[in-house]
Structure 1
Amino acid sequence: MEAGTSAEGAIIAGEGGARILRDVAIVTHCVESLAVALGHWTALLGYRVVESGTLGAEACAAWDAPAAAGQRYALLQPASGEDCYLRFVETGVRGHAPPASWGWIATELLVQDTDALARQLEGTGFRRLGGPADLYPRPKAPRAMQVIGPSGELIYFTRLLPGGSRYGLKQARSPVDRPFICTLGGPAGAGMHAFYAGVLGHRIMERTPFINGPLAMLCEAPADTVFPTAVASIPGRRHLLEMDEFPAHVGPRRRPAGQLPPGMSMVSFVVRSLAALAGLQPGGVPLRAPPRRLQGIAYRGRRVAVIEGAVGEWLELIEDPEAS
C-alpha cells in the first residue's frame, strides 16, 4: 500500500536506469477451487470472466511449468474494462499464507469507496483484517482496507482521490477496479532493491518503517512488527511495486516440481524487448525457458517469457515494442 513517508520524494536507488518493466498486465493466483474464487469475485466485486479453459502446453512451456498443463483457469477483467487482469488457476491446493513466504504476497486494487465496499463485504467470503482507514494523516490521503479473500489471497482495497497520490497514480474508474500495486516480500531489502534498481533499472523510493498488522499476522509475527518498506516506480504512473522486508524467520516459497508457485504466483508485465534482458548488468537476466508466442486476450500473439527475481518471485514478461 502507499506507505507514509520519512523523506518526501527521496530516491534511494535506480535513478536514470533502463526501467525494463512497463504496465502490469496480469496478476496470477493459484487457488484451491476455481468455482469459489469466481463466484466471489464476479458476484461481489464486479469482475467478469473474459477467458477460461485449461492451461495449454505452449504457455506452460514458456513458464517452464510443464506439470501445470491441463489445470483449469479463468481470466477476469474489472468492470472498468481496463486491460489489467486477474488470473485464477485451480491447483486443488490452498497455497496462500499463513505462513507467509518470500515472493509475491499482496494484490492492491483501486476502489471508489472503501467504506461502502467494507459494508458490502460483511458476512461474505472476504474477511476484513484492517481498515478502512487513511494511510497517513493528510488531506486526500489514500484510504485502504486489508482483506483475506475466499481463496486466502491477501487483497488491499484502496481509494485514491484526485491529487491524493504522492506518485501521481490515477483513480478507480469502477467501484472495484484494476490491480495497481503488487507487493513483494523477502529478506533484507537490499537484495530486492539491487534487482529492481540495479538490474532492471527502476527508481526505488521511500524506504520507510511501516507497521502492517495484517501482514504481521500472515508472517506469524507480533502485531506491532515494523516492516521496512520501499516502493519501485513503473513508467506511466499506473502501477507501483512495493517491497516489504520480512522478519528473519520467514523463508523461501516452496514450489512443487513443474508447477507454478503457490498462492500469489506470478505478476505479468509488458516490456518493450525481451532481447534487452541479455544486456542488463551484471551478466544479463536469464529466462526460465525460451520465449513463446501465446494467444489469448491478454497475450494477443506476443512473445512471452518468465524471469525470476531476487527472492524467487516469477515475473512473466510480455513483449510489446510499442509499449509506452
Structure 2
Amino acid sequence: MTILHGTIMGGLSTLPDLERGLAAYRDTLGLDLVERGELPEGLAASWGCPGNAGSPYAVLRPKSGAPCWFRLVEQANHPDFKPTTTYGWAAFETTVEDVWHWPEALPADLFTIVGPPKVLENIEPAFIPMQALGPGREMVYLNQVLGDLPDTDLPRAGSRVDRIFIVVLATPDREASIAWYCDRLALRRGEDYTLPYSMINDAFGLAPDTQTTITMVSHGRMPIVEVDDYPDEAAPRARHDGKLPPGNALVTLAVEDLDDCTAEWLAPPSPREGALYEGRRAATAIGAGGELVECVETGA
C-alpha cells in the first residue's frame, strides 16, 4: 500500500485505564485491535518520554484497512489538564459513515459529548462535525464528510469509524507553526478560515460570536494539520515529568524521506517494528507549538 507524504498515519492518546480505552475505541467505535503490549524503551525514548517505557499500550486500526493507527498509552491523568485550553494537539478528526448515529451510541461512562452534530455556518458545508472527549479526556471529532472543499479533498468513510484525516493544533503563534510544517516537512499552507469556534469559545468562556482564524496545512489537496489561533489565556500543557502529554499526545505523519526533512529529531531516525512502523525508519521532533510530531519514512 502506498502511503503518500503527509498522510496522517496515527494519533496517540493517553488514558488512565487501557481496558476502558479498548472499551471505547474497539468495542464502541468499532476499530480493530491489531497490537497490544508494553511500550518499548527505545520507542519511548525516541519521543523524549523515557518515563513511558513499559507502559501498557494498544494499537487499533479502522475496519476499512486505511493506513491509520489509533494508539492508546496508559498513564495517570494530570490534575491540571483541561481539554481545549492548552497548546499542543487539541483534537483528532476522524471520518465516519453516519454522524447522527453517535449521540445515542456513545456510552456516557466512556465519552463526554461536547459538541453534538451540527451543520457548519460561514463555510462550505463539506462535513457535519461532532466532538466528544474520550476516557483520557482526549478530543475526538466524528465528522461525516459530505463533499470536498474548493482546494481540499476530504475522505469518505469506508467503515463506521474510519481514518484520522485532520489533526488540530493549538498554538501560541499560528504563523510560526504553519512555517514549521512548511519549512521542516515540505508541506503547503492552505486557506485561512475565520469563524465562531464553539469549542474554543466554550472552553475559555468567550462570547459565542467570538471569531477564531484557522489555517489548514496540506500536501496537494490532502488536508493534514489544522492550525488554530488560541486566546491569550491559553498556556503550555501540564504533563508528568518524562512522560507523554495528557490527552491528544502525539501525531504520526508519513514523509517520503527523513533525510530531506530539516526538523531537529529528538533521537536519530531508526527502523521500528510492529504495527504502524513495519520496519520503516521513524523519528520525532517538537513543533513550534510544543507538540510531538513523529515522522515515518514511507518513500512516497
TM-score w.r.t. length of structure 2: 0.90
What amino acid does structure 2 have at the position aligned with 1:154? Answer: M
Map of 1:108 onto structure 2: 93
Distance 2:296 2:196 in 1: 34
The Cα shift of 1:197 comes to 2.6
Give the equivalent residue in structure 2 for 1:159: 144
Residues 16-65 of structure 1, C-alpha deviation per residue, up to 9 Å, x if partnerless?
xxxx9521111001111111111122221101211000111121232232
Matches of 1:160 and 1:61, distance apart in 2? 37
1:247 and 2:231 correspond: yes
- Residue correspondence of structure 1 range 1-324 to structure 2 within 5 A: 21-94=5-78, 97-98=82-83, 100-121=85-106, 123=108, 125-136=110-121, 141-161=126-146, 163-166=147-150, 167-219=152-204, 221-235=206-220, 237=222, 239-277=223-261, 284-321=262-299, 323=300
Change (3 A) 1:122 1:31: closer
Aligned-partner Cα distance in 1 for 2:205–2:20: 26
1:132/1:145 contact within 8 Å kept: yes
Cα deviation, residue 91, structure 1 = 0.6
CA distance in 1 between partners of 2:134 and 2:280 (Å): 31
| Alignment CA distance shift 1:122-1:53 (3 Å) | closer
Greater mean deviation of Cα atoms: 192-201 or 100-109: 192-201
Does the aligned pair in 1 maintain the 2:196–2:212 contact within 8 Å? yes
Deviations 1:233-272 (A, max 9, x none): 13473x4210111001111123333222222111011111
Aligned-residue CA RMSD (Å): 2.2
Question: What's the % identity of the aligned pairs?
Answer: 31
Which moved further from structure 2: 96-105 or 264-273?
96-105
How far has the Cα of 1:310 moved from its partner? 0.7
Q: Secondary structure at the residue paired with 1:265?
A: strand
Distance 1:154 1:273 in 2: 30
In structure 1, how many angstroms separate the alpha carbons of the residues matched to 2:92 and 2:244? Answer: 17
User: Residues 22 and 236 of structure 1 are in contact (CA less than 8 Å); yes or no, is this contact kept in structure 2?
Assistant: no
Structure 1 residues 219 and 79: CA distance shift in structure 2, 3 A: farther
Amino acid at match of 1:81: G
Shift of residue 217 of structure 1?
Answer: 2.9
**In 2, are the aligned partners of 1:94 and 1:263 still within 8 Å (CA)?**
no
How many residues align? The count is 295
Shift of 1:311: 1.1
Whole-Å Cα distance in 2 between the matches of residues 68 and 59 of structure 1?
9
Unaligned runs of 5+ in 1: 1-19, 278-283
Question: Shift of residue 223 of structure 1?
Answer: 4.1
How much does 1:110 deviate? 0.2
Instruction: Note the alpha carbon deviations across 1:263-319, whole angstroms, 9 max, x for none.
Output: 211101111111112xxxxxx421111122111021111111101111111110111
In structure 2, relative to structure 1, the CA distance for the partners of 1:122 and 1:303 (3 Å cut) is closer
- Superposed CA deviations along residues 172-196 of structure 1, whole A, max 9, x for unmatched, are 0111111111000011322112212
Q: Helix, strand or coil for the counterpart of 1:134?
A: coil
Deviations 1:70-123 (A, max 9, x none): 111000111222120110100122575336211110010101111122232264
Q: Which segment is superposed worse, 114-123 or 61-70?
A: 114-123
More displaced stretch, 201-210 vs 167-176: 201-210
CA distance in 2, matches of 1:292, 1:199: 19
